[in-house]
């Protein structure tokens, strides 16, 4: 959500506030799960099409256009428009009374078509789950599904029925502020998670929107909204698979991108939307523009004025106009003038009504505001938040086993307002709805360590939302007086998501200065990076005892971090993105193509940099555990396999030292020789496996040979015979290797 809209929302909510109830805890009433959203099939689906025929036959042109408008909270919006049939969908209403009003107005409209009520319910509404990038770090699809389920279920409790999620844009560029909304750099992981997120939101009672179609994450130089250039082969191999996975999982709608790909704005790209998505891929839901992206066709230089923008966007296959108001202003006239056939409008209306009917909106009872009290901030949601966060914590460094804290540690200094302040930014803020407070790290630590260990704190920055420099001297003194200093650094509340690109990925100067001063005390330092993207840790990594990476982990994130610090949880998170040594290496990713001059002898005429290694600081898939895992006995079921077959094998995983723990078995594949260069390795299988202390597990894997191919420049998929190398291990540098021949 743009910051301006977020601000507007907060201001409007302030007016609806019921101060006395702001802190009221949710009553512990067990809640019945919502009915999952799902496409109907067979006779039911056929009956829906007949019902749509009947409805469309009774609609005026204005009522049809009304179904294609998505309006929301803002200066212009009038609730009467819902009653007039002028808008079939609304967004950004989050108080139960407003939702009831929207529904009542729709019920008074001539045809009583129920509204779709939308919100960016991404990783929470009252109880927050880790950000999607943090969810991806679990490498655990079950937990990602669970996080989506609870995010949906809480939004559902205030009457929302459509989420603008999952965001499944692929990106390899940490400068782009929206990396936190996706699943990281790897297309295999991202595709699996795109599917489970879609399913989880549906199970929680929301319809979904796969976004942003397509290529938004390739924004040149990581600058949000910038142009993207994607060749056909890369489009199909890298950007399409998560969308195909979400479509296969039954996503209801697709949102276009704000950007232009190969010189054509996605919202005006007929080939991408009408031909490919609705035609070739057979998508039968509706396509919604992004926020005002119909109007932005003018700024893109692809439409002369509002009317022209409608002609371009509607002609490209965009069924619904989000917030631009241009379909409302021009579409009916364009139809009357013969510039747009009414049959095309009917097709778009059919798609919107189809989604509404398959969602079950026509049969649904009016929203009951009691749900908000019952279903927000429940103990179950908090437990889910903790369960996901535990596996999302990534341990990047742990020198001389500083973590978990030894019994000899008698005092811990916690530094940084991200750790020492409560956090509670959420949609329910000021809305008179139950608020869910995220505990301070200090409190979470003290609760585990008890009176045996003294936990002291120093905020060092202004507030938990603004990391402007604060009392550095006080922080240093606090560190000096303790056995260990835990320093939480990172990004402000508003420094992630849309419009937050960075040109520098190092710590801001005053954070680095604070850290240097704490390191200078000589106390062992544990750094917690609370960021929404990979940062460059090179300037301090060798000078601190431990580093934990936490991608905004949600309501229970700091509890999970405290559990890791104290050993109550053995970390198992893995990096879903490569961590660079320097911003100048970005985009840096593991599944790169080889060059004709690989780095072997380290001399000038090999690929690399004059002033930096070409290796990342931490590779994709990396994350430490308190256990020491080792892999051996890699065995393939056969030395050769036909193209129609499966690469089957197994590997032994041993928990050689330390407590019981979980390791992510990662299997990468490289095609040695092909018609075109193939990536140096690509993840094709992963599985999180629990192993008892000192125990072993034999883990089997199977990879369909059909998944080892690629697309050529004409978009044809090819799987070539030849030798394929297999690499198995706990990160993308996996060293255990075998090879297999794929035959015709």
Residues that bind ligand BGC (CB under 6 A): 1-2, 120, 164, 211, 258, 290-291, 498
Say how far residue 548 (Cα) sits from the centre of its chain: 20
How far apart CA 627 and CA 616 sit, in angstroms, is 24
Task: Pick between residue 362 and residue 425 the one whose CB is nearest to ligand BGC.
Answer: 425
Task: Pick between residue 186 and residue 290 the one whose CB is nearest to ligand BGC.
Answer: 290
Order of strands across the sheet that contains 646-657: 628-636, 646-657, 696-704
Residue 697 in tokens: 């597990």
State in angstroms the smallest separation of the CB of 73 from ligand BGC.
11
Task: Pick between residue 258 and residue 565 the one whose CB is nearest to ligand BGC.
Answer: 258
Locate tokens 């364009």: which residue? 334
Q: Residues 269, 273, 276, 279: what is their CA dihedral angle, to the nearest 10 degrees?
A: -130
* Closest residue to ligand BGC: CB criterion: 164
Task: Respond yes or no: is residue 275 known to be catalytic.
Answer: no
Task: Pick between residue 1 and residue 298 the one whose CB is nearest to ligand BGC.
Answer: 1
Task: Pick between residue 211 and residue 311 the one whose CB is nearest to ligand BGC.
Answer: 211
State in angstroms the smallest separation of the CB of 324 from ligand BGC.
12
- Degrees to nearest 5, angle at CA 167 with 538 and 620: 30
DSSP character at residue 177: G
Residue 554 in tokens: 């949600």
DSSP character at residue 285: S
Q: Pick the closest to residue 265 from 314, 313, 334 (CA basis).
A: 313
Residue 281 in tokens: 């891929």
Angle, helix 240-248 to helix 187-203, in steps of 10 degrees: 30
Catalytic residue among 290, 319, 321, 328: 290
Residue 497 in tokens: 């998501």
How far apart CA 125 and CA 132 sit, in angstroms, is 14
- Peptide bond between residue 484 and the one before it cis (omega within 30 degrees of 0): no
DSSP character at residue 681: -
State in angstroms the smallest separation of the CB of 253 from ligand BGC.
11
Neighbours of 725 (CB within 10 A): 15
DSSP character at residue 206: -
β-partners of residue 685 are: 667
Task: Pick between residue 255 and residue 316 the one whose CB is nearest to ligand BGC.
Answer: 255
How far apart CA 195 and CA 245 sit, in angstroms, is 5
Containing H/E element for 56?
helix 42-57
Q: According to DSSP H, which parts of 169-239 are helical?
A: 187-203, 232-234
- Degrees to nearest 5, angle at CA 359 with 354 and 363: 100
Task: Pick between residue 116 and residue 444 the one whose CB is nearest to ligand BGC.
Answer: 116
Contact in structure between 732 and 666 (CB atoms under 8 Å): yes
For the chain, the distance separating the N- and C-terminal CA atoms, rounded to the nearest angstrom, is 50
Task: Pick between residue 291 and residue 590 the one whose CB is nearest to ligand BGC.
Answer: 291
Task: Pick between residue 1 and residue 660 the one whose CB is nearest to ligand BGC.
Answer: 1
Task: Pick between residue 72 and residue 434 the one whose CB is nearest to ligand BGC.
Answer: 72
State in angstroms the smallest separation of the CB of 709 from ligand BGC.
32
Task: Pick between residue 319 and residue 498 the one whose CB is nearest to ligand BGC.
Answer: 498
State in angstroms the smallest separation of the CB of 51 from ligand BGC.
29
Contact in structure between 139 and 178 (CB atoms under 8 Å): no
Contact in structure between 16 and 369 (CB atoms under 8 Å): no
Task: Pick between residue 213 and residue 629 the one whose CB is nearest to ligand BGC.
Answer: 213
Containing H/E element for 487?
strand 484-490
State in angstroms the smallest separation of the CB of 120 from ligand BGC.
5
State in angstroms the smallest separation of the CB of 290 from ligand BGC.
5
State in angstroms the smallest separation of the CB of 488 from ligand BGC.
28
Contact in structure between 176 and 499 (CB atoms under 8 Å): no
Containing H/E element for 39?
none
State in angstroms the smallest separation of the CB of 122 from ligand BGC.
9
Contact in structure between 741 and 639 (CB atoms under 8 Å): yes
Q: How many CA atoms lie within 13 A of 510 on its CB side?
A: 14
DSSP track, 387-456: HHHHHH-EEEEEGGG--SPPTT--EEEEESHHHHS-B--STTTTTTSPP-PBPPHHHHHHHHHGGGSEEE
Q: How many CA atoms lie within 13 A of 566 on its CB side?
A: 22
Containing H/E element for 414?
strand 411-415
Q: Percentages helix, strand, coil for the chain, rounded to the nearest 5?
A: 35, 20, 45
In terms of Cβ atoms closer than 10 Å to its own Cβ (0-12, 13-18, 19+), residue 650 is middle
Q: Pick the closest to residue 617 from 686, 683, 535 (CA basis).
A: 535
Parallel/antiparallel/unpaired status of strands 286-288 and 253-256: parallel
Catalytic site residues? 290
């Amino acid at each position: 959500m743009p910051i301006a809209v977020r601000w507007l929302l907060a201001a409007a909510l302030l007016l609806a506030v019921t101060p006395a109830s702001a802190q009221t805890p949710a009553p512990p009433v067990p809640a019945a799960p919502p009915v999952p959203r799902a496409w109907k099939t067979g006779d039911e689906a056929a009956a829906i099409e007949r019902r749509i025929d009947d409805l469309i036959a009774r609609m005026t042109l204005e009522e049809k256009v009304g179904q294609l408008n998505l309006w929301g909270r803002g200066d212009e919006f009038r609730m009467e428009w819902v009653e007039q049939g002028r808008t079939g969908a609304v967004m950004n209403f989050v108080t139960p009374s407003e939702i009831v009003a929207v529904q009542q107005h729709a019920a008074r409209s001539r045809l009583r078509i129920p509204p779709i009520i939308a919100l960016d319910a991404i990783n929470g509404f009252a109880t927050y789950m880790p950000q999607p990038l943090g969810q991806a770090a679990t490498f655990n699809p079950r937990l990602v599904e669970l996080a989506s389920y609870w995010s949906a279920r809480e939004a559902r409790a205030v009457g929302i029925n459509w989420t603008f999620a999952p965001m499944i844009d692929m990106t390899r560029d940490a400068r782009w502020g929206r990396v936190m909304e996706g699943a990281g750099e790897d297309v295999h992981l991202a595709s699996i998670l795109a599917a489970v997120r879609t399913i989880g939101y549906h199970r929680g009672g929301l319809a979904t929107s796969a976004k942003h179609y397509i290529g938004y994450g390739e924004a040149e130089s990581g600058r949000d909204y910038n142009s993207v250039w994607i060749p056909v082969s890369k489009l199909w191999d890298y950007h399409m698979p998560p969308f195909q996975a979400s479509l296969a999982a039954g996503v209801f709608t697709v949102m276009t991108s704000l950007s232009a790909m190969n010189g054509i704005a996605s919202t005006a790209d007929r080939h991408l939307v009408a031909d490919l998505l609705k035609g070739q891929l057979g998508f039968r839901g509706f396509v919604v523009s992004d926020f005002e992206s119909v109007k932005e066709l003018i700024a893109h230089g692809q439409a002369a004025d509002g009317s022209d923008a409608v002609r371009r966007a509607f002609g490209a296959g965009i069924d619904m106009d989000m917030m631009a108001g241009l379909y409302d202003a021009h579409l009916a006239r364009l139809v009357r003038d013969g510039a747009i056939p009414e049959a095309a409008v009917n097709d778009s209306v059919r798609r919107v009504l189809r989604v509404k009917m398959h969602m079950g909106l026509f049969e649904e009872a009016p929203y009951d505001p009691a749900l908000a009290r019952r279903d927000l901030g429940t103990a179950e949601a908090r437990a889910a938040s903790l369960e996901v966060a535990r596996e999302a914590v990534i341990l990047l460094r742990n020198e001389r086993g500083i973590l978990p804290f030894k019994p000899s540690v008698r005092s811990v200094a916690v530094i940084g307002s991200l750790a020492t302040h409560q956090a509670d930014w959420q949609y329910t803020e000021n809305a008179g709805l139950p608020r869910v407070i995220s505990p301070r790290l200090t409190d979470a630590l003290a609760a585990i360590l008890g009176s045996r260990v003294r936990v002291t704190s120093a905020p060092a920055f202004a507030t938990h939302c603004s990391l402007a420099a604060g009392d550095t001297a006080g922080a240093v003194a606090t560190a000096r007086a303790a056995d260990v200093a835990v320093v939480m650094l990172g990004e402000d509340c508003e420094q992630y998501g849309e419009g937050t690109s960075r040109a520098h990925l190092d710590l801001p100067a005053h954070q680095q200065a604070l850290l240097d001063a704490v390191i200078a005390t000589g106390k062992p330092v544990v750094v917690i990076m609370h960021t929404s993207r990979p940062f460059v840790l090179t300037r301090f990594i060798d000078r601190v005892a431990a580093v934990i990476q936490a991608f905004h982990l949600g309501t229970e994130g700091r509890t999970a971090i405290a559990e890791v610090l104290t050993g109550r949880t053995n970390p198992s998170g893995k990096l879903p993105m490569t961590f660079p040594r320097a911003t100048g290496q970005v985009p840096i990713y593991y599944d790169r193509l080889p060059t004709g001059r690989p780095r072997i002898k380290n001399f000038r005429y090999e690929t690399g940099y004059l002033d930096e290694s070409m290796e990342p600081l931490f590779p994709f898939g990396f994350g430490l555990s308190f256990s020491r895992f080792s892999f051996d006995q890699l065995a393939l079921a056969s030395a050769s396999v036909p193209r129609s077959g499966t690469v089957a094998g197994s590997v032994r995983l041993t928990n050689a030292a330390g407590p019981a723990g979980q390791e992510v078995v990662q299997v990468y594949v490289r095609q040695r020789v092909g018609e075109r260069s193939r990536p140096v390795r690509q993840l094709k299988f992963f599985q999180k496996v629990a192993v008892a202390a000192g125990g072993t597990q034999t883990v089997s894997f199977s990879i369909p040979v059909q998944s080892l191919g690629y697309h050529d420049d004409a978009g044809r998929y090819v799987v070539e015979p030849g030798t394929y190398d297999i690499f198995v291990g706990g990160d993308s540098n996996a060293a255990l290797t075998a090879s297999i021949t794929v035959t015709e």
